[in-house]
Structure 1
Amino acid sequence: MDGTMIQQALREYQRGVGHLAEQLPDVVREYNRFTDACFAEGELSKKIKHLIGLSLGVYTNDEYCIIFHTKGAVDHGASDREVLEAAAVCGAFGGGSAMSQAVTLVQEALTEFRGQTH
């Protein structure tokens, strides 16, 4: 799992945030504080918030967000069907671009985070 595209993307994002934090520590610290508050347990569960984040990532074609929020949803107990439904709902808004991510990257990330093989 360490050498996969999914894991590599997560590492690249973490490295990028680390480099940005070296240059703009206040910005990164405040951004992290803000997003931590947004994804904290509240009226909406962390699972639901990550499913929303996943759907928005699919809509904006943001591969890092798709991977990160698929992992977040899985880590907080989302079933494969819940993840795929969140991605599919986005297809109703985002059309072909959203569906292409739902049928490729979302499923690839789910498979990896569940430890399955095709």
Structure 2
Amino acid sequence: MSSPLGNELKRLREAKGYTLEEASQQIGITRQYLSMLEKGQRKSASFEIMTRLSQIYQVPMEYLGKFIGSNAQELTENELNTWTQLNKKLEEEIYGNSVNELLTWLKAR
């Protein structure tokens, strides 16, 4: 049994080249929990987890929110690349190197 959100989370993870283990560590959840989300055994996640998913997969939270409802549409590969580039550019302009420091700190948690 899968869900639109689960299917998209799996697609995004695979597009980034992450294993379940790698992605779950970056998000700060167990591999089993991420697997349950991807398989549709969990229909949604907390705001905090959705925020981390958005950051790790570099897509807007609003985009992931669309997959919780029934009118989900996937981003094209070009749109996904555009969002990734925009997010990187904004992070660099707003936070500079502190984003990398924050991500390193989060990974160590």
Q: RCO greater where, 1 or 2, for CA within 8 Å and sep 6 or more? A: 2
Q: Same fold (TM over 0.5)?
A: no
Using the size of structure 2 for normalisation, the TM-score is: 0.31
Whichever structure has more helix as a proportion of its residues is: 1
Using the size of structure 1 for normalisation, the TM-score is: 0.29
